[in-house]
């Protein structure tokens, strides 16, 4: 093999780029493409791009430019190509098993398709494998639509009457003649010794004697059974000459299936063989349909279970296919639309689609649940959808949740049982019991909205608005069709503050908390109080620090946190709660620094201390000295304490080191050690020395506080703060360690997130709690306060009140603003079983548990505008999970259902003795039933 050792990474990139440009411009049917694992491809891209600082985006190559630059760090040259992770049991000695692709591969996430010329060059350089080649086919119905057939048709060949079976992979564009020939090769027969039959829908059967028809035109399905019959002397001729012999021949086949014996022969290359003597494993389980009159056993095909039919992608319609599969596999909808639902169509509803959307959806659902596995073309449904929702016309990518929202609302209006909607107005709560108000709202809603969609999907939540000015409380109970839960990073904000004590109990300590992004100062104070274990007799004073001085106290609890920038500096002071007529003593630190013109001068540095004073109490210069000594006592160096003091504080020395976070444990540790200094050292210091303090009086004159200990200090009635300066001389700095006063951290320090924060999942319960957390309305959504008679930015609190049979949860992964669109790839750890919402329901007059189980979800892979949608569905009847990727349907393990691609989750209520089984939709027009129903 020729080596490319003489080529630089840049030269390799240019060679592949040129080959890609020339090969991609004239792709035609029959061309070959090769699969290569995304992991290896990304490694190669990083390697060849490592020396680039920028890349010209001329739009000519979709291969070398597939990813962004990896950076300038040196990358090692990739080893040989390794496609083993694309296949099942890649290390098996059986060649046929090594060539079987995983059923759930996604292009762009798991593999890349390379033109033959690109693959040949890479293989020449690197070697490796296995080689996975696929052809370009025309998948269009009425016009040419070229596509690479990654997943070949998988068929099970059943040899009768021997009972052998084999699996074969073959293109759906191959002919019946090619399949016939392959079957003969596998079972080692001549072409004239066997004939082949196809079975689909477990009612129809046909002799495959049109040898020039493609397997696609013959409607062969993935995993369909093909019976390979060993011919007698007259079987084939009689069937060909007389069509009426078809039923007789089928009966013969059934009898042969009954008496089939086991056996197997050697496997051919590229075919998976599995010998079996069990009749049930060969022909499946009995069907029991009236039309099948072929004996007691009947004949069924493997894969005839209803609901395992895919949807053809019409061009960027994976979003629609994913949403539809979730809805049609909702058991309540599947039963409803497979029965006679047309009497419930509301032909006069001006808000609906005159029944056409419901009929189109019902017909599509019936096709998807019909026996057989032939993928359905949803073009008629899409045409009807586009007629009533022009935003979904054309073939652009859309959001599956937006389609679900429109579809559920449209089906509800088309199937609304209320033909004449009464006008009803719900009254305000006005202090009435929540249960009474909630039932009144629900009854009024059901009087106008009553459909299968309401029966199954609609719940009710309690909405509480509080006016920030007059305190007016407004309570309403509103219906919901789904819950749109924010991911934590979109709804919360990380803020770092430094906590100071006024009683000398601890060193200044940084504290980082999570707060609502659109919250207020009271939310920040509450979070810090919880993190730092605030005592009952303490309160927090929040201040903004600029230029080593306090620029403002943030005492108004309604100040919006959005006014605090990420590069601001915040200090929080623990102060006594019971001080009345308060004035704040601010201790400002100064030290000598050289000035350009006048030599040394005193300049402020560090962060001020704050202690509350009462104007009602007399205060002397000595009192100020004592207060300052107390605040500074945690910073006193250990060598300046007497031996008895040192022994009492030795165990806490380590707590004086800088802290990088705040928690109740850290504050407690610091308090335990530093309080010793306060108790044993402060009184001695006060008696022995005076600190160099200066007070700025009401005339802005500095007053020396080192003399006249008994002199009273006059506090102005108009000022809110008293400034006291401490001049830190070099001698004084030898006694105190002021390092903790410096380098006050920013509210949010910019930089890449840690590995832990990037990978740590968040719980679905956490997302739900963020959704239910009280927060202010955004400025664009002001509330008209009926008491103030003005628009107010009220605080809003949501609570779940009445839960539906099917709970749809939308994870808000996509965010938009004027300049960019962004997708959050956050992994949400959602429960599959026992999703317990009991404690999240505000209606507490019931002891019944609210348990839900996941049965479907819509996934989104990739980024904004270029992603791909799939659906994971659990078929309740056979208790198995399946992956629906457009027309391709395959099994999936339950542990693989969870991923960072989860976008819309579908939960069903668990039916147990202590769980309510109705949301009251069908009978809630009657108040008696609603009052008995307790959720």
Q: What's the rounded Cα separation, in Å, for the pair 456 and 453?
A: 5
Catalytic positions = 318, 868
Integer CA distances (angstroms), 511 to 326, 529, 841, in order: 45, 11, 33
The pair phi, psi for residue 514, each rounded to 5°, is -105, 135
Q: What's the rounded Cα separation, in Å, for the pair 471 and 394?
A: 50
Give the residue among 888, 885, 895 at the shortest CA–CA distance from 854: 895
Instruction: Report the 3 state secondary structure along 655-677.
Output: HHCCCCCCCHHHHHHHHHHHHHH
Tell me how crowded residue 819 is: count the other CB atoms within 10 A of its CB: 5
Q: What's the rounded Cα separation, in Å, for the pair 449 and 445?
A: 6
**Side-chain half-sphere CA neighbours of 559 within 13 A:** 16
Alpha carbon 261 to its chain's center:
52
Run of H or E including 509:
strand 509-516
Helices 318-328, 331-338: crossing angle, 10 deg rounding: 80
Q: What's the rounded Cα separation, in Å, for the pair 20 and 14?
A: 10
- Residue whose structure tokens are 């019959």: 229
Do 186 and 157 touch, CB atoms closer than 8 A?
Answer: yes
Integer CA distances (angstroms), 446 to 336, 353, 413, 657, in order: 20, 20, 13, 64
Burial class (CB in 10 A: 0-12, 13-18, 19+), 532: buried
Token pair in block for residue 391: 């935003």
The pair phi, psi for residue 42, each rounded to 5°, is -65, -40
Do 183 and 193 touch, CB atoms closer than 8 A?
Answer: no
Tell me how crowded residue 365 is: count the other CB atoms within 10 A of its CB: 23
Q: What's the rounded Cα separation, in Å, for the pair 123 and 129?
A: 8
Do 797 and 464 touch, CB atoms closer than 8 A?
Answer: yes
Token pair in block for residue 562: 């959005």
Q: What's the rounded Cα separation, in Å, for the pair 602 and 725?
A: 10
Helix (H, G, I), strand (E, B) or coil at 621: helix
Run of H or E including 15:
helix 9-24
Integer CA distances (angstroms), 334 to 328, 341, 416, in order: 6, 11, 18
Helix (H, G, I), strand (E, B) or coil at 107: strand
Give the residue among 316, 322, 310, 358 at the shortest CA–CA distance from 337: 358
Q: What's the rounded Cα separation, in Å, for the pair 388 and 397?
A: 18
Give the residue among 542, 615, 549 at the shortest CA–CA distance from 586: 549
Full DSSP string of 681-707: HHHHHHHH----EEEE-TTS-EEE-SS
How do strand 538-546 and strand 549-553 relate by DSSP bridges? antiparallel
Q: What's the rounded Cα separation, in Å, for the pair 906 and 884?
A: 15
DSSP category for residue 388: H
DSSP category for residue 274: -
No. of helices (H) and no. of strands (E), the chain: 24, 41
Burial class (CB in 10 A: 0-12, 13-18, 19+), 184: middle
């Amino acid at each position: 093999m020729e080596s490319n050792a003489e080529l630089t990474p840049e030269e390799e990139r240019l060679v592949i780029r040129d080959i890609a440009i020339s090969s991609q411009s004239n792709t035609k049917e029959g061309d070959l493409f090769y699969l290569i694992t995304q992991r290896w491809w990304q490694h190669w891209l990083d390697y060849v791009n490592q020396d680039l600082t920028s890349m010209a985006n001329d739009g000519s190559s979709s291969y070398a430019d597939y990813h962004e630059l990896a950076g300038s760090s040196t990358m090692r040259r990739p080893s040989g190509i390794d496609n083993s992770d694309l296949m099942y049991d890649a290390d098996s000695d059986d060649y046929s098993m090594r060539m079987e692709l995983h059923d759930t591969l996604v292009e762009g996430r798991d593999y890349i398709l390379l033109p033959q010329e690109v693959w040949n060059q890479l293989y020449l350089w690197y070697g490796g494998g296995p080689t996975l080649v696929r052809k370009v086919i025309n998948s269009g119905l009425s016009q040419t639509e070229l596509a690479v057939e990654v997943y070949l048709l998988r068929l099970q060949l059943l040899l009768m009457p021997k009972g052998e079976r084999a699996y074969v992979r073959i293109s759906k564009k191959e002919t019946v003649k090619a399949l016939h020939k392959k079957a003969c090769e596998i079972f080692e027969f001549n072409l004239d010794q066997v004939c082949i039959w196809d079975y689909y829908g477990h009612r129809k059967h046909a002799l495959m004697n049109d040898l020039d028809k493609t397997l696609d035109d013959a409607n062969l399905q993935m995993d369909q059974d093909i019976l390979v019959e060993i011919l007698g002397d007259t079987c084939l001729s009689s069937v060909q000459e007389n069509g009426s012999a078809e039923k007789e021949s089928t009966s013969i086949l059934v009898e042969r299936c009954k008496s089939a014996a086991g056996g197997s022969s050697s496997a051919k290359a590229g075919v998976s063989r599995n010998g079996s003597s069990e009749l049930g494993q060969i022909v499946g389980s009995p069907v029991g349909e009236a039309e099948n009159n072929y004996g007691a056993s009947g004949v069924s095909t493997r894969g005839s279970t209803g609901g395992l039919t895919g949807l053809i992608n019409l061009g960027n319609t994976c979003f629609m296919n994913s949403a539809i599969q979730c809805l049609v596999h909702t058991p309540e909808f599947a039963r409803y639309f497979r029965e006679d639902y047309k009497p419930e169509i509301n032909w006069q509803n001006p808000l609906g689609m005159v029944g056409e959307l419901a009929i189109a959806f019902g017909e599509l659902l019936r096709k998807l649940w019909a026996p057989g596995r032939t993928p359905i073309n949803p073009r008629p449904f899409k045409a009807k959808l586009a007629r009533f929702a022009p935003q979904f016309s054309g073939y652009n990518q859309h959001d599956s949740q937006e389609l679900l929202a429109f579809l559920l609302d449209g089906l509800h209006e088309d199937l609304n049982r209320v033909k004449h909607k009464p006008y009803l107005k719900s009254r305000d709560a006005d202090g009435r019991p929540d249960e009474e108000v909630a039932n009144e709202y629900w009854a009024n809603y059901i009087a106008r909205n009553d459909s299968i969609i309401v029966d199954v999907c609609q719940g009710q939540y309690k909405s509480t608005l509080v006016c920030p000015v007059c305190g007016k409380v407004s309570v309403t109970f509103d219906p919901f069709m789904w819950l749109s839960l924010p991911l934590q990073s979109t709804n919360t904000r990380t803020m770092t503050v430094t906590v100071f004590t006024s009683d000398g109990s601890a060193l200044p300590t940084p504290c980082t908390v999570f707060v609502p992004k659109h919250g207020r100062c009271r939310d920040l104070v509450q979070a810090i109080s919880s993190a730092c274990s605030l005592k009952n007799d303490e309160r927090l004073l929040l201040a903004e620090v600029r230029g080593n001085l306090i620029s403002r106290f943030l005492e108004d609890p309604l100040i919006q946190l959005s006014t605090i920038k990420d590069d601001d500096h915040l200090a929080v002071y623990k102060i006594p709660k019971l001080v009345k007529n308060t004035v704040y003593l601010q201790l400002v630190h100064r030290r000598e620094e050289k000035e350009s013109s006048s030599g040394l001068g005193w300049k402020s540095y560090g962060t001020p201390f704050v202690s509350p004073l009462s104007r009602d109490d007399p205060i002397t210069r000595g009192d100020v000295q004592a207060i300052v000594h107390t605040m500074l006592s945690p910073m006193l160096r250990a060598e300046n304490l007497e031996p008895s003091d040192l022994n009492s504080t030795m165990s806490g020395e380590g707590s004086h080191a800088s802290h990088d976070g705040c928690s109740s444990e850290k504050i407690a540790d610091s308090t335990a050690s530093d309080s010793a200094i306060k108790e044993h050292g402060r009184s001695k210091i006060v008696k022995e020395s005076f600190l160099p303090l200066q007070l700025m009086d009401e005339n802005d004159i500095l007053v020396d506080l080192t003399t006249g200990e008994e002199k009273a200090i006059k506090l102005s009635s108009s000022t809110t703060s008293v400034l006291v300066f401490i001049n830190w001389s070099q001698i004084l700095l030898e006694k105190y360690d002021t390092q903790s006063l410096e380098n006050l951290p920013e509210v949010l320090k910019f930089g890449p997130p840690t590995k832990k924060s990037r990978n740590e999942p968040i719980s679905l319960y956490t997302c739900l709690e963020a959704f239910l957390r009280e927060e202010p309305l955004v400025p664009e959504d002001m509330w008209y306060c009926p008491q103030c008679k003005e628009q107010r930015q009220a605080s809003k609190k949501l609570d779940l009140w009445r839960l539906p049979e099917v709970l749809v949860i939308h994870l808000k992964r996509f965010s938009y603003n004027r300049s960019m669109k962004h997708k959050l790839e956050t992994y949400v750890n959602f429960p599959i079983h026992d999703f317990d919402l009991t404690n999240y329901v505000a209606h507490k007059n019931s002891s019944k548990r609210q348990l839900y189980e996941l049965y479907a979800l819509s996934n989104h892979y990739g980024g904004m505008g270029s992603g791909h949608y799939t659906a994971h569905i659990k078929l309740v009847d056979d208790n198995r999970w399946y992956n629906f990727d457009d027309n391709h349907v395959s099994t999936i393990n339950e542990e693989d259902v969870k991923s960072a691609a989860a976008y819309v989750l579908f939960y069903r209520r668990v039916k147990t003795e202590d769980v309510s089984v109705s949301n009251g939709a069908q009978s809630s027009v009657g108040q008696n039933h609603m009052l008995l129903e307790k959720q």
